[in-house]
């Protein structure tokens, strides 16, 4: 695995598959902006990791975990919706992150730097995406039912609050993972765009979730290749590739309803 492009491609596609799959559920849960805002929460964690010379993924995931626990706890104790809480955490973290991040690394933290990806990152990506798929398929019924109606889910004996926490933790994991590819500013779109495109095409949950996953992988792969051949920054190219896919799906049958 010495070819840097191959390494970037494999890591990017793996993350794209996981982000698309998880994003499918986020879009249905109307948490599209939560992923976007959460990615900004990672900034202070990345800043600390850079200062301490450890893998930024670890710093980002730690910051996101703290944020998720904070959001979940506040959600249980107040009537504020996720979006409001994430919005609050987002601005505070962004401010903190901007102050903490050393200036030379600020661009890298904001937009990602796929060139720095090493074999360890690919290994972490495969492991984390594997965990995401595993957990989601194990708790799939509970997830879907709690999206449709939390009352119906609770009445069916599903631990809705725990499922929501598990889901937020998976979002934290995938967002932390994607920061290398898309950076804190653009990671949210890697989660949302493939799912939004798949929703335009799919007529059932099975095709929707897998299509979102595959489109996430395709967007990541295409973006990284285009960036490589035309000498652009990969993060924005991945997002633009996803955008083009979304635009194409607008011509499908579903969107004419």
Please give the residue ranges that form the binding site for other proteins (CB under 8 A). 28, 141, 144-145, 147-149, 151-152, 154-156, 198-199, 202-208, 254, 257
- How far apart are CB 56 and other proteins at their closest, in Å? 35
Taking the complex as a whole, how short is the minimal distance between the CB of residue 43 and other proteins, in angstroms?
32
Q: Which is nearer to other proteins, 8 or 209 (CB)?
A: 209
Closer of 53 and 256 to other proteins (Cβ): 256
Q: Rank residues 99 and 205 by Cβ distance to other proteins and give the closer one.
A: 205
Q: 114: which residues sit within 8 A by CB, 6+ positions away? A: 8, 11, 12, 180, 181, 224, 227, 234, 235
CB of 201 to other proteins, least distance (A): 9
* Nearest approach, Cβ of residue 22 and other proteins (Å): 15
Distance separating alpha carbons of residues 204 and 181, to the nearest angstrom: 30
- Which lies closer to other proteins via its Cβ, residue 40 or residue 199? 199
Whether residue 93 contacts residue 60, with contact meaning beta carbons closer than 8 Å, is answered with no
Angle between helices 205-230 and 160-201 (to 10 degrees): 70
> Whose Cβ is closer to other proteins: residue 164's or residue 199's?
199
CB of 207 to other proteins, least distance (A): 7
Minimum CB separation of residue 84 from other proteins in Å reads 18
Q: Which is nearer to other proteins, 127 or 250 (CB)?
A: 250
Indicate left, alpha or beta for 158 from its phi (over 0: left) and psi (-120 to 50: alpha). Answer: beta
Alpha carbons 204 and 122: distance in angstroms, whole number: 31
* Contact by Cβ (8 Å): 237, 227: yes
Helix axes 234-249, 160-201, angle to 10 degrees: 70
The structure tokens listed for 25 are 């559920």
Q: How far apart, in whole angstroms, are the C-alpha atoms of residue 158 and residue 212?
A: 26
Q: Which two tokens stand for residue 56?
A: 């930024």
């Amino acid at each position: 695995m010495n070819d840097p492009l191959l390494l970037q491609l494999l890591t990017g596609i793996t993350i794209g598959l996981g982000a698309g799959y998880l994003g499918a559920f986020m879009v249905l849960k109307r948490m599209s902006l939560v992923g976007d805002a959460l990615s900004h929460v990672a900034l202070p964690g990345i800043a600390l990791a850079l200062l301490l010379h450890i893998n930024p993924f670890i710093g980002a995931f730690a910051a996101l975990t703290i944020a998720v626990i904070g959001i979940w706890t506040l959600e249980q104790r107040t009537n504020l919706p996720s979006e409001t809480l994430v919005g609050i955490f987002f601005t505070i973290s962004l401010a903190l992150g901007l102050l903490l991040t050393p200036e030379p690394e600020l661009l890298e933290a904001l937009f990602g730097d796929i060139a720095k990806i090493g074999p360890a990152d690919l290994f972490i990506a495969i492991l984390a995406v594997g965990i995401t798929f595993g957990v989601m398929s194990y708790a799939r019924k509970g997830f879907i039912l709690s999206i449709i109606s939390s009352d119906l889910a609770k009445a069916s004996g599903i631990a809705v609050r725990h499922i929501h926490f598990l889901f937020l933790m998976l979002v934290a994991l995938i967002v932390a993972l994607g920061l290398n590819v898309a950076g804190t500013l653009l990671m949210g779109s890697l989660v949302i765009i493939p799912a939004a495109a798949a929703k335009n095409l799919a007529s059932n949950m099975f095709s929707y979730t897998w299509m979102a996953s595959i489109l996430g992988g395709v967007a990541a792969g295409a973006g990284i290749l285009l960036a490589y051949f035309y000498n652009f920054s990969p993060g924005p190219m991945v997002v633009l590739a996803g955008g083009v896919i979304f635009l194409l799906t607008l011509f499908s049958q579903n969107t004419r309803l």
